[in-house]
Amino acid sequence: MSGSESTTGNHLPQLRSIRIPGDGRCLFRSVVHGACLRAGKPSPSESIQKELADELRSKVADEFIRRRTDTEWFLEGDFDTYVKQIRKPQAWGGEPELLMCSHVLRMPITVYMSTDSSDGLKIIAEYGQEYGKENPIRVLYHGYGHYDALQMPLTKTKSKWYMKS
Task: Report, as residue numbers or ranges, the catalytic residues.
Answer: 23, 26, 146
Give the distance, in angstroms, between the CA of residue 75 and the centroid of all CA atoms in the same chain. 19
Least Cα distance to 141 among 103, 100, 105, 97 occurs for: 97
Close Cβ partners of 141 (under 8 Å, ≥ 6 residues apart): 111, 112, 113, 124, 147
* Contact by Cβ (8 Å): 109, 28: no
* Contact by Cβ (8 Å): 64, 71: yes
Eight-state DSSP code of residue 74: G
Please give the Cα distance from 88 to 21 (Å, whole number): 17
* Contact by Cβ (8 Å): 107, 38: yes
Q: Which residues pair with 18 in a beta bridge?
A: 149
